[in-house]
Amino acid sequence: KPCLQLYRLLRTIAEQHKAHAVAPGSARTLASALDLSTSTSTSYSPQHTGSDVRYDKRHGSELRFRSYIATVAAERGKQAAREEMECWSCQHHLKKGGFICRGCEKIQPVDPSVNYFELFGMPDMQYDLDLDKLEKQYKMLQWQLHPDKAVGRTEAEREFSAQQATMVNMAYSVLRSPLARANYMLAQRGVSAGENSENTITDPELLMQVLEAREEVEATEDPAVLRRLLQQNRQQQARLVEELGEAFSRPTGTQDALSRTTELTYLVRLEQELVRKLPDAGA
């Protein structure tokens, strides 16, 4: 009975941690690891025959259970290693991308493994963003990296602080721009959109639309016409941004996202030309 109670306790603990267990396929599930049968002996009684030791099924299940728990612990250790880094000064563990070590209060260098989304507390890397939340997070990071906070620090820490601030500013400028964000996400997927332009458009119908729109902008100086074209342009951009969000949400949507990004690139450039001709139009 004591053994059975211990087994039940361990099984309950394992079930509570099942959500944090190893990835599917990397180890047997707990159910298979604990394959017990009441038709076998219920006591542990190893029988020695020379150097051979035979165990009953319950003991074998105990060994599988221990192996399973060890595998889970190893996987969770690997996950923690991916999510943490060591302080350069005191080796204290802190969250990857952290600015200041809680162990010694030293400013940390830029972590190149942290992407822009993770830097702003958005690890899922979704194209559709809450821009108000992004701005609030940006202001908080700016406050943490304010130059006054580096006063009295070592030269290395002041340099780290400046590098962190530069990265935060760059990340914010990329994430707040629909086009820059799309190009960044494509790069994270291993696709380089590069300097998309009309010359990279392979869709004949889309290419014709690009050329006609550019000709129309270049042919007029009428503010009313230019404002109408600008309004149409921004409506088209809004549509593309929605389509990009849908494309990036699909694991197989990279090619669609690349196509929409190319189209968005020419619309953004056309908008810049319209705004240049209409200084009072605003960004």
Measured N-to-C along each axis, helices 254-277 and 178-188 cross at an angle, to the nearest 10 degrees, of: 150
- Quick one: average pLDDT of 173-199? 83
The segment with the largest mean pLDDT, out of 69-78, 145-154, 225-234, is 225-234
Average pLDDT value over all residues in the chain: 78
CA torsion through residues 16, 17, 18, 19, sign: positive
What confidence category does residue 3 fall into, taking pLDDT thresholds of 50, 70 and 90?
low
What confidence category does residue 57 fall into, taking pLDDT thresholds of 50, 70 and 90?
low
**Percentage of residues of the chain with pLDDT beyond 90:** 40
SS3 128: coil
In the chain, at which residue ranges do the beta strands (DSSP E only) sit?
47-49, 52-54, 84-86, 93-95
pLDDT exceeds 80 at position 35: no
Cβ-contact 253, 189 below 8 angstroms:
no
pLDDT exceeds 60 at position 248: yes
Entry pTM: 0.66
- Quick one: average pLDDT of 67-84? 56
Interatomic CA distance for residues 55 and 47, integer angstroms = 7
- Quick one: average pLDDT of 246-254? 94
| Distant-in-sequence, close-in-space partners of 59: CB < 8 Å, separation ≥ 6 | 44, 46
Cβ-contact 161, 145 below 8 angstroms:
yes
For the chain, percent helix, then strand, then coil, each to nearest 5? 60, 5, 35
Q: What pLDDT, in 10s, does the model give residues 104-134?
A: 888 888 888 899 999 998 888 999 999 999 9
What single-letter amino acid sits at 159?
E
What single-letter amino acid sits at 7?
Y
Cβ-contact 281, 230 below 8 angstroms:
yes
Q: What pLDDT, in 10s, does the model give residues 135-144?
A: 999 999 999 8
Q: What is the pLDDT of residue 46?
A: 47
Cβ-contact 175, 116 below 8 angstroms:
yes
Give CA separation, 283 vs 224, 231, 256, 268, 273, in Å. 17, 12, 27, 11, 11
Q: What pLDDT, in 10s, does the model give residues 145-162?
A: 888 888 889 999 999 999
What confidence category does residue 58 fall into, taking pLDDT thresholds of 50, 70 and 90?
low
What confidence category does residue 93 fall into, taking pLDDT thresholds of 50, 70 and 90?
confident
